[in-house]
Amino acid sequence: MNKKTFGNKLVASPYIVWSAIFIVVPLIIMLYFALTDSSGNFTLANLSGLGEYKKAFAISILYAAIATVITLLLAYPMAYFMSKLKISSQRMIFMIVMIPMWMNFLIRTYSWITILANTGLINTFLKNIGLRPLKLINTPGAVILGMVYDFIPYMILPIYSVMSKIDNSLLEASEDLGSNGFNKFKRVIFPLSRPGVISGITMVFVPSVSTFYISQKLGGNKTMLIGDTIEYFFNLGPDYYNIASAISLVLMVMILICLFIMNRFSDGEEGGVLM
């Protein structure tokens, strides 16, 4: 890959054009709005005024972190057992994990409203068996649940993918060298699955930290996440594009820093692909 031939460049060119239009240009537009005032003059005021949104940033990061940890704890064993099944069963479970991903996020999130609402499935059930209804919807727990539910396939798939590629002879070798089940996991399975874990964490944390519809639908309007803040300002009209862009810019820089740190963990091991 070091020396790119002309042929390679030719093949890559549609991709380069595509990325230029849909990634680079929007970034430049965002940067422009973030660094100008409403009449188009250069200013840093948008950025320096962001202290106000500290709380939204903090809550977003906290919720996303909790959701990521829960997702990892659920997905890791799941991916491990999946990789141990017969190939035919693996395919089936793979499909079951994939199917929800073909559905729109918004619809999937809505479905939780009908489950968690005060008159929803759970509370109706509780009432029917004579228990007091619970406050489920519009709580931080519901928001985190939504994040876990929406993004867990992005955790399962990369972990499953590295796990299923672990050569069985490596596991036998470790057993041969005296490892019991625990040592086999600690010294071989876990280190070899780490690239999948890292890409899973990234793929869950990034959309969680920037989400806005999950918190709106499942959190009521009580918890303003940073995504909600951005959406709120954009909805106020063109005068607020500058402040919204500035928040987006900071969020993006924060995410990039996270990605950078995560990639350091994977020490350039292959497999740590970020989407």
Partner 1 sequence: MEKENIVELKNISVAFDGEQVLDQLNLGIKDKEFITLLGPSGCGKTTTLRLIAGFLEPDCGDVVFEGKKINGVPAYKRQVNTIFQRYALFPHLNVYENVAFGLRVKKLPENEIKQKVTEMLSLVNLSGFEKRNIATLSGGQQQRVAIARAIANHPKVLLLDEPLAALDLKLRKDMQKELKKIQQQLGITFIFVTHDQEEALTMSDRVVVMDKGKIQQVGTPQDIYNEPKNAFVADFIGESNIVDGKMLKDYRVEFSGQEFRCLDRGFSQNEQVDVVVRPEDVDIVEYDKGMLKGKVTSVAFLGVHYEIIVDIGGFKWMIQTTDEHFVNDRVGLYIEPDAIHIMKKSEYSGLYGDYSSYSEEIDHLSDVEEE
Considering the complex, what minimum distance in angstroms separates the CB of residue 260 from partner 1?
Answer: 22
175 is an interface residue for partner 1 by CB under 8 A:
yes
Give residue 108's Cα distance to chain centre: 16
Q: Which of 66, 213, 269, 273 binds partner 1 (CB under 8 A)?
A: 269
Pick left, alpha or beta for residue 37 (phi over 0 → left; psi -120 to 50 → alpha; otherwise beta): beta
Is residue 215 exposed (0-12), middle (13-18) or buried (19+ Cβ within 10 Å)?
Answer: buried
Q: Under DSSP, is residue 58 helix (H, G, I), strand (E, B) or coil?
A: helix
Q: How many residues bind partner 1 (CB under 8 A)?
A: 18
For partner 1, the binding residue among 187, 221, 236, 257 (CB under 8 A) is 187
Asked whether the CA dihedral 78, 81, 83, 87 is positive or negative, the reply is negative
Strand locations in 147-228 (E)? none
Q: Counting contacts by CB under 8 A, is residue 172 touching partner 1?
A: yes
Q: Closest separation between CB of residue 69 and partner 1, Å?
A: 24
The CB-of-165 to partner 1 minimum distance in angstroms stands at 11
Residue 192 in contact with partner 1, rule: CB under 8 A: yes
Selected from 16, 24, 134, 177, the binder of partner 1 by CB under 8 A is: 177
Inter-residue contact 210 to 253 (CB < 8 Å): no
Q: Please report, for residues 37, 74, 87, 261, the alpha-carbon distance to residue 234 in angstroms, rounded to integers and kept in the order given.
A: 15, 35, 48, 30
Q: Give residues 60-79 in contact with partner 1 (rule: CB under 8 A).
A: none
Give the shortest CB-200-to-partner 1 separation in angstroms. Answer: 18
176 touching partner 1, by CB under 8 A: yes
| Interaction of residue 173 with partner 1, rule CB under 8 A | yes
Q: Which of residues 96-125 bind partner 1 (CB under 8 A)?
A: none
Least distance (Å) from partner 1 to the CB of residue 176?
5
Q: Interior CA angle at 246 toward 212 and 51, to 5°? A: 85
Residue 273: φ, ψ to 5°: -80, 135
Q: Minimum Å distance from CB 92 to partner 1?
A: 22
Cβ contacts of 92 within 8 Å, gap of 6 or more: none
- Pick the piece of the chain touching partner 1 (CB under 8 A) from 5-13, 172-180, 211-219, 236-244: 172-180
- Interface with partner 1, residue 174, by CB under 8 A: yes
- In 3-state terms, what secondary structure has residue 27? helix
The footprint of partner 1 (CB under 8 A) covers 167, 169-170, 172-180, 183, 187-188, 191-192, 269
